[in-house]
Amino acid sequence: MSGTSTLSTREISDFTAWDAANVLEYATSRFAAIWRALDRSHVNRTAAYKASFVRHLQWEVDAFVFPYTNICLVMNIHPTIPALLRSVMSCFARLQTGSITAEKLFQEFHTECSPNDQRLWSNHRIVSTYHHDWWKDRFDILGFQLPILNVSEVMEMTEDHFERLPMGTMLVPGPVITNQVESDALFNQIVAVRAHLLALGQAMEDLLEEKTQIAAVAAATMTQLEAPIDEVEQALVNSFTPLDNEG
């Protein structure tokens, strides 16, 4: 694969399994958005349109996928890869080996990589806007400029993506990783995983504490309202008593 991302601006030793999982999740979101745009498009899908579409998809995998899977191989880390992204990677691997043509890849992407497929479902990952969202324009005739992205820029896009996802579908931002050892990828991965587990545990503890406090305030409020409610109820009873006596 031809890589369009450069790795010089971010030290590989600072890149964790959590970073890789985040970037690949972001890439999956982009492919889900691209698929939805393609599915809704009424543009005539000529041979030139399909070829242009595949070229733009090639930029997507070169910018957001393969540089990070290569880093993972070098560092011996194994992030989770969503099913939709695995299908896209498989398509491009076969394209590079000559097993399929660009037109066949276009067909497979549209029919077999659908995020509506329950095995690949990814629509919950989609946000309203993306950086460099070429698929919103007539990319096949306008010549959308595809930039060369470095790792820092991709990480910034990833962080922005998770900030805009609805709560409950976003990944929890990872903590700062300390105590790593130079040239020991396996140990560093263990340190990173442990740090993230501790951060998740603390986040869960804080959430439970917040819910407990909210429940306590609600209970106290109900207790304070009991006396006024009793007084109102008694006043209503008393207001009907003279009427009953007159009857």
Number of domains in the chain: 2
Judged on CB neighbours under 10 Å (0-12, 13-18, 19+), 45 is middle
Q: Are residues 83 and 105 in the same domain?
A: yes
Whether 147 maps to a domain, the answer reads: yes
Single-letter code of the amino acid located at 70: N
The domain boundary, picked from 171, 197, 230, lies at 171
Distance CA 75, CA 192 (A): 13
Whether 184 maps to a domain, the answer reads: yes
Q: Are residues 80 and 166 in the same domain?
A: yes
The domain boundary, picked from 154, 171, 188, lies at 171
Per-residue pLDDT, 192: 62
Under-50 pLDDT residues of the chain: 1-10, 168, 170-173
Judged on CB neighbours under 10 Å (0-12, 13-18, 19+), 182 is exposed
Q: Are residues 154 and 195 in the same domain?
A: no
Per-residue pLDDT, 52: 93
Q: DSSP labels for 138-196?
A: -HHHH-------BHHHHHHHHHHHHHHSPTTTSPPPPPPP-S--TT-HHHHHHHHHHHH
Per-residue pLDDT, 30: 95
Assessment of whether the complete model's pTM goes beyond 0.75: no
Q: Are residues 127 and 223 in the same domain?
A: no
242 DSSP assignment? H
Q: For residue 201, what are the domain limits?
A: 180-247
Nearest to 89 by CA among 74, 73, 111, 105: 105
Check: CB of residue 79 under 8 Å from CB of residue 86: no
Per-residue pLDDT, 188: 60
Q: Are residues 20 and 89 in the same domain?
A: yes
User: Quick count: other Cβ atoms within 10 Å of Cβ 27?
Assistant: 27
Per-residue pLDDT, 81: 84
Whether 94 maps to a domain, the answer reads: yes
Q: Are residues 55 and 107 in the same domain?
A: yes
